[in-house]
Amino acid sequence: MDSMSATNQPSAEMKALDRLVGTWAVTGGAEGTVRYEWMPGRFFLLQHVELTQFGQQVTGLEVIGHLHPFGEPVGADVVSRFYDSTGNTLDYAYELTGDKLTIWGGAKGSPAYYEGTFSADGTTVTGEWVYPGGGGYASTMTRI
């Protein structure tokens, strides 16, 4: 069957990220708002970012999903690329298992990562960024 068939469905790993859809106030080492929304088809989740971090404005768009290059199978991991208003591109990998959200900087298993936990009612995600050699910070998202 053609890999672009209409019978393709978003993966269970992508469906799990539905809990992120909406607008969140971010506090901690970065402050501001992020908004998650599905692209039509729900194969990709978009994150709109308006934050201040270390005194710098961070404005950008992140596209989250499985890689699926021409003629190749769909990648196993949920990955993303973040594009910001100063020309940076940053790659991440996502995993949401139960109430635990992990976002690695770069590839899955990277020593730079965010680990957060959803509250029972789903209105907050509390955790922290961990950087190799230190310099991480606490970060909480509260649904608004």
pLDDT tier at 1, thresholds 50, 70, 90: very low
Q: Given this model, what pLDDT does residue 7 score?
A: 54
- 127 in Cβ contact with 26 (< 8 Å): no
Is pTM beyond 0.85? Reply is: yes
pLDDT over 80 at 3, yes or no: no
**Percent with pLDDT over 90 in the chain:** 92
Q: What span, in angstroms and rounded, lies between the C-alpha atoms of 40 and 26?
A: 26
Q: Domains in the chain, start-ordered, CATH in brackets? A: 12-143 (2.40.128.20)
**Which residue in 83, 33, 29 sits closest to 53, CA to CA?**
29
Q: Which of 77, 52, 48 is nearest to 60 (CA)?
A: 48
